[in-house]
Amino acid sequence: MSHIRLRCIACDATHPADAGTLFCRRCRSPLDVEYVGYGTLSRAGLTGLWSLGAPAPVHDARNVVTMGEGQTPVARFERVGERLRLSAVLGKLEYQSPTGSFKDRGTTVLMSVMKEMGVTEVVEDSSGNAGASIAAYAAKAGIVAHIFAPASAPVAKLSQIRVYGAQVHLIEGPREAATHAAKEFVARRGLVYASHNLSPYFLEGTKTFAYEVAAQSGELPRHIVIPVGNGSLLIGAWKGFLELKERGRIKVIPRLHAVQAEAVQPIASAYAGREWQVLAGARTVAGGISVGQPPRLKQALRAIRETGGASVAVADEAILRWQLLLAREEGVYAEPTSAAAFAGLEALVGQGVIGRDETVLLPVTGMGLKDAAPAL
Amino acid sequence: MSHIRLRCIACDATHPADAGTLFCRRCRSPLDVEYVGYGTLSRAGLTGLWSLGAPAPVHDARNVVTMGEGQTPVARFERVGERLRLSAVLGKLEYQSPTGSFKDRGTTVLMSVMKEMGVTEVVEDSSGNAGASIAAYAAKAGIVAHIFAPASAPVAKLSQIRVYGAQVHLIEGPREAATHAAKEFVARRGLVYASHNLSPYFLEGTKTFAYEVAAQSGELPRHIVIPVGNGSLLIGAWKGFLELKERGRIKVIPRLHAVQAEAVQPIASAYAGREWQVLAGARTVAGGISVGQPPRLKQALRAIRETGGASVAVADEAILRWQLLLAREEGVYAEPTSAAAFAGLEALVGQGVIGRDETVLLPVTGMGLKDAAPAL
């Protein structure tokens, strides 16, 4: 018997854990993994995030598809701190990952589950980083990957997806068109939709971010500021901290703040109680968080509100300014999506949400080479 | 009094450790760091390669310029093993580093020494990865970096160097022209030449590769196959293993094999006792090992011979084939320079140098995005 099942995040209905179910059969909401036992996974010989002791939806270590993801380093960002007059700013360098972004946390778990369940062909839609990550782990697992991406995605990201041997389907139109085409393809071909936005297994990987922050910190940071599109890192971190609190390993969950781009801000708007509609042609340099209709929006809002966090939207100009500042003052070349978190930090300090003497941690989610700065 | 001095690798003369001395004053050969005491560096709070316990040429932890480099993961390359009928092929994923290449190991130590010695402006010449690495750590340390690079270097690498705020000096002509121009600039401006090829401090960083391999292995791999241009990883690894052996922490040093490109193979030729001269216009896709006159050539040969290693040269066709194989079968997108090691492994297995049941470890030295594969 499996030690996991799937629970609806809205109506609490449960379903058996399988490869393809992404929505509650009763109310059509997304699902989370729920653990009903300890499971049989032995961690012996596993490294990186698989060695942290977090409950995982895999039964047999032989099915773990891993390239040493996780255990990313934390750097002190002293000059960012001086600039914003904060006593301690920490960067968790998530881009030091197998495919150059934090998505690998989610993907290693998702693709391990797929392998364990005997899946041989998956479909994913992605504006870039998740697509590259799924493509890489599918290659490692010997699984065929179909990646649906907007035709406007950065060339370096598309090229990276292709080098792993994935079949790339370029879709004209807004980001949502790629999702629509992927779903249609899944239905037509009877394949598994390994959506990083929807899959409950993906969050079981991103939750390890919280386990690492707890293990690496003498004292937990008071604030964590995260760039949020679909919210897989925000929601995953929240789940991880909730598990750690339930197990008595931490007392207080850091305040989780969500940063979005001004042009595409469904979560920041909902947080502020503002009406917001995605405008046709709305664009931001932060491609990784350019998501007009995140399927887990309500869950993301809960993660923010229940931890005492806030959500802000930042301008492209601030994002690009912080991208250069990080490179020139901290030696960290982040992609614009990652720099958005620092623009958000500046805004949150300005609003008084984050105090001068409180420790702040920010994930640097993706490497700059993936979505290069305007030519210098 | 300092716990380090510099010793000539040819005539054994010693010199006080300073920032700028790169050659023996007696015989003009390169220098190595020699430890004459335990030093005062406290490792408390340091992570990554700084926490391994390797002797380091820094006195005060406050001068350590770090972004969490080192402690890179090891992945089992099962399909490479099946393809070559080897029982165990391990990839040490060095590209999961702050700037995307193993050079960060050397740079963190080199730039920490520079900071400790009060240097405020450095000069470096590099075809790409070392330049980006020096630029990033200089930015973090608040040191001005001048990077001399061939005008033909990959655009992504040059752009990465610039984003960190370094001053890039593009030099037409072969790789050696950039070195020449850098040296002239150093002499004219009275600056410190922080050469990754010559600096003894750089090797004190790359040697930590050996410490990690020893710490991560139950049993040490019998063979390590390394792409070699100037040989900073080969020589560094050798130094590290020698230290570990002297301290009784290992019994046998793995056989260190050096892989070069057919078009540029001074070390493979010298190993085989063949005459070789760099041809004007000789080119290889493996830009990181395209070095016609490595200043530490004799030391590299010693590292190979004294460990029972070999050196082979491989064709560009094989390098590009392995680059795709690694991506498609192991999910690892490496730059051509890194893929060369696997082409070399294939050759060494073919020659019977590496036996079927012997464990082989290969560093994957640089990320593919830095020097992208031909458009797919």
What phi and psi values does residue B256 have, to the nearest 5 degrees? -100, 115
Q: Is residue A35 part of a domain?
A: no
* Contact predicate A316/A289, CB 8 Å: no
* Phi, psi for B167 (deg, rounded to 5): -90, 115
Q: Report the gap between the CA of B75 and the closest CA in chain A (Å).
A: 5
The number of folded domains in chain B is 1
Element (H, E) at A148: strand A144-150
pLDDT of residue A278: 81
Residue B276 domain flag: yes
Confidence of residue A154 (pLDDT cuts 50, 70, 90): confident
- Give φ, ψ of A202 to 5 degrees: -60, -40
**What amino acid occupies position A228?**
V
Q: Of B67, B160, B367, which has the smallest distance from its Cβ to A100's Cβ? A: B367
Helix (H) and strand (E) counts for chain A?
12, 13
Cα distances (Å, whole numbers) of residue B285 to B129, B226, B264, B270, B320? 14, 16, 11, 22, 8
User: Considering only CB atoms, which chain A residues are within 8 Å of B375?
Assistant: 159
- A11 pLDDT band, cuts 50/70/90, is very high
CB pairs < 8 Å spanning A and B: 141
A16: exposed, middle or buried (C-beta count within 10 Å: 0-12, 13-18, 19+)? exposed
The token pair at B297 is: 């050539």
The per-residue pLDDT for A2 is: 87
Residues B349 and B80 sit within 8 Å (Cβ to Cβ): no
C-alpha A202: how far from its chain's center?
Answer: 8
Q: Which residues pair with B122 in a beta bridge?
A: B145, B192
pLDDT value at position B371?
74
Q: Which pLDDT belongs to residue B370?
A: 81
Say what the pTM is.
Answer: 0.96
Confidence check: pLDDT of A276 > 60? yes
Question: Are the C-beta atoms of residues A92 and A74 closer than 8 Å to each other?
Answer: yes
pLDDT at B376: 55
Asked if the Cβ–Cβ distance from B165 to A328 is below 8 Å, we say yes
What is the four-CA torsion angle of A220, A226, A230, A233, rounded to 10 degrees? Answer: -30
Residues of chain B short of pLDDT 50, as ranges, are none
Question: B301 is in which domain, residue-wise?
Answer: 74-101+203-371
Side-chain-side CA neighbours of residue B42 (13 Å) = 3
Side by side, the strands of the sheet bearing B4-8 are B14-16, B4-8, B31-35
Q: Do A68 and B165 touch (CB under 8 A)?
A: no
Task: Provide the terminal-to-terminal Cα distance of chain A, rounded to the nearest Å.
Answer: 57
When scoring A52, A140, A324 by the number of chain B Cβ atoms within 10 A, the one with the most, hence best to mutate, is A140
CB of A320 closer than 8 Å to CB of A285: yes
What confidence score (pLDDT) does residue A153 get?
A: 81
> Which A residues, 91 through 110, put their C-beta within 8 Å of a C-beta on chain B?
93, 96-100
Contact residues for B199 (Cβ-Cβ < 8 A; gap 6+): B22, B106, B110
| DSSP structure string for A293-324 | S-TTHHHHHHHHHHTT--EEEE-HHHHHHHHH
Q: Which residue, among A82, A112, A328, would best test binding to B if mutated, counting the most B CBs under 10 Å from its CB?
A: A328
Share of chain A above pLDDT 90, in %: 86
List of chain B residues whose C-beta atoms are within 8 Å of the C-beta of residue A75: 66-68
Helix boundaries (H) for B117-193: 129-141, 155-163, 175-189
Q: Residue A375: pLDDT band by 50, 70, 90 thresholds?
A: low
Nearest in space to A53 (alpha carbons), one of A67, A44, A43 = A43
Decide: B234 and B372 in contact? Cβ < 8 Å: no
Measure CA of the first residue to CA of the last residue in chain B; give whole Å. 57
On chain B, the residues whose CB falls within 8 A of the CB of A138 are 331
Which band of pLDDT confidence, cut at 50, 70 and 90, is reported for residue A372? low
The answer as to whether A162 is a domain residue is no
Q: Which of residues 53-82 of B touch A (CB under 8 A)?
A: 66-69, 71-75, 79
B26 belongs to a structural domain: no
Average pLDDT over residues A339-347: 98
A329, HSE (Cβ side, Cα atoms, 13 Å): 15
Per-residue pLDDT reduced to its tens digit, A301-332: 999 999 999 999 999 999 999 999 999 999 99
Q: Look at residue A113 in the predicted model and tell me its pLDDT.
A: 98
Strand partners, B6: B15, B33
Cβ atoms of A290 and A261 closer than 8 Å: yes
Q: Can you tell me the mean pLDDT for A157-183?
A: 91
CA angle B259–B154–B365, rounded 5-degree value: 35
Q: What is the pLDDT of residues A124-134, one digit of tens each?
A: 998 689 999 99
List chain A residues with CB under 8 Å of B162: 376
Separation in Å, CA B72 to CA B91, B94, B108, B237: 10, 6, 15, 15
Paired sense of beta strands B360-363 and B223-227, if any? parallel
Question: Residue A196: pLDDT above 70?
Answer: yes
| B154 belongs to a structural domain | no
Q: What is the CATH number of the domain that holds B262?
A: 3.40.50.1100
Which residues on A lie below 8 Å from B69 (Cβ)?
73
B133 touches chain A (CB under 8 A): no
Minimal C-alpha gap between A141 and chain B (Å): 8
Residues of chain B contacting A320 with CB distance shorter than 8 Å: none
Distance, in Å, from the CA atom of B68 to the CA atom of A327, rounded to the nearest integer, reads 16
Decide: A303 and A234 in contact? Cβ < 8 Å: yes
Residue B147 located in a structural domain = no
- A368 chain-B contacts, CB cut-off 8 A: 160, 163
A46 inside domain? no
In a domain, A185, yes or no: no
Q: How far is Cα B107 from Cα A207, in angstroms, rounded to an integer? A: 32
